[in-house]
Amino acid sequence: MNDTSLLSLEDLTVTFANANGGLEALQAVNLDVPEYRFMAVLGPSGSGKTTLLRVIAGLVQPTSGTVHFKTPEDTPPRIGLVFQQANLMPWRTVIENITLPLELRGDHPGVARDRAREFIEMVGLDGFENSLPRSLSGGMAQRVALARALIMEPDLLLLDEPFGALDALTRERMGAELLNIWQARETTVILVTHSISEALLLSDRVVVLSARPGRVVRELDVPFARPRTEEIRYSAEFVALTRDLRDSIQEEPEPMPVEKPRFHSRRKLIGR
Ligand SMILES: Nc1ncnc2c1ncn2[C@@H]1O[C@H](COP(=O)(O)OP(=O)(O)O)[C@@H](O)[C@H]1O
Ligand SMILES: [Mg+2]
């Protein structure tokens, strides 16, 4: 891809302090994030995917290396964040959760509400403006979180397994809607996901991190033309790339199950 990059990570290392002299979460990560593109990050649990997003968002300081935004005069871009849990304010309605970032920056409440309605429509929550979070399904709560991130018109949207807690069908639908939103608004996306097919279906480039400490072990430019449909999942090329990516993700071996002695007497009983 010959894109201009929005940001680049150079030799980024993050070591967390602990009792054993430090835990290295990321090691010498070099990465260019192309502007207006959709990037997916895959990697085993504990490979530093969340840490990577937190460093980019400025929530964690790298131990060494740099995060360099290629915005005019190096001004930091506006960043939107969505996590696996929606983390909504339970006492605020849908619309009040979405207007919150605008209120915090001092927008007039009427203006903020008008703006929020636009985003409520975009994420398909019409009619739920005045609902409280406890009455929403997981998918609806994530839509609110997405709208709350989008209302700030982020240059960069960081999504940390946003659909990880949803059932498979809701997840597919949310993925498709995310693509529509991304295509309609000019923004750069970095999506952390556990799902290889989600990464291939949604993104322009897939980055694979190694098991801890996370290093970039693979960068793949996704060859599928847009607009894409769910149908491409069944193509031979999609299946081959899925297998290929699966091979480059080294999962930690599962520990062997340990026999629990307290079941011993019961087993003996059953065995008789
Ligand atoms: N704030 C922290 N303090 C200490 N260790 C941390 C902290 N955040 C993450 N870690 C550790 O860093 C490693 C990478 O974590 P994380 O970035 O959450 O991985 P992933 O999102 O890929 O599962 C893990 O071993 C985790 O326990
Ligand atoms: Mg994580």
User: What is the pLDDT, as a whole number, of residue 24?
Assistant: 96
Q: In this structure, what token pair is assigned to residue 137? A: 């399904």
d(CA 253, CA 147): 38
| Of 226, 190, 195, 185, residue with least CA distance to 205 | 190
Classify residue 100: in a domain, yes or no: no
**Inside any domain, residue 179:** yes
Answer yes or no: is 112 within a domain. no
Asked, for residue 62, whether it belongs to a domain, the answer is: yes
Q: Ligand 1 atom closest to Cα of 52?
A: 17
CB contact at 8 A, 98 and 144: yes
51 lines ligand 1 (CB under 6 A): yes
Q: State residue 250's pLDDT score.
A: 79
The candidate with the shortest Cα–Cα distance to 202, out of 252, 238, 149, 150, is: 238
Concatenated DSSP letters of 109-144: HHHHHHHHHHHHHHTT-TT-TT--GGGS-HHHHHHH
Asked if residues 60 and 246 have their Cβ atoms less than 8 Å apart, the reply is no
Question: Residue 54: inside a domain, yes or no?
Answer: yes
Question: Does any domain span residue 17?
Answer: yes
How many structural domains is the chain composed of?
1
Predicted local distance difference test score (pLDDT) of residue 139:
94
Ligand 1 pocket, residue 53 CB under 6 Å: no
Q: Ligand 2 centre from 84 Cα, in Å? A: 9
Task: Tell me what pLDDT residue 271 has.
Answer: 46
Residue minimizing CA distance to atom 18 of ligand 1? 50
Describe the crossing of helices 138-150 and 109-122 by its angle, rounded to 10 degrees: 130
Find out whether the beta carbon of 203 lies less than 6 Å from any atom of ligand 1: no
Separation of alpha carbons 199 and 181, rounded Å: 16
Angle at 249 between CA 246 and CA 250, to 5 degrees: 125
Q: Is residue 259 part of a domain?
A: no
Residue nearest to atom 3 of ligand 1 (CA): 16
216 part of a folded domain? yes
Strands 64-69 and 5-16: antiparallel
State which amino acid sits at residue 140. M
CATH of the domain at 71: 3.40.50.300
Give residue 31's domain range.
5-78+154-253
Cα Dmax for the chain: 78
Give the dihedral sign, CA 93/186/47/206. Answer: positive
CA of 160, nearest ligand number: 2
Backbone dihedral angles phi then psi of residue 153, each to the nearest 5 degrees: 50, 60
Q: Is 27 touching ligand 1 by the criterion CB < 6 Å? A: no
User: What pLDDT sits at residue 71?
Assistant: 79
Helices (H), the chain: 49-56, 94-104, 109-122, 138-150, 168-184, 196-202, 236-248, 264-271
Ligand 2 centroid, distance to 58 Cα (angstroms):
16
pLDDT in tens, the chain (272 residues): 557 899 999 999 999 999 988 999 999 999 999 999 999 999 999 999 999 999 999 999 999 999 999 877 767 789 999 999 999 999 999 999 999 999 999 999 999 999 999 999 989 999 999 999 999 999 999 999 999 999 999 999 999 999 998 999 999 989 999 998 998 888 999 999 999 999 999 999 999 999 999 999 999 999 999 989 889 999 999 999 999 999 999 775 556 666 555 555 455 555 44
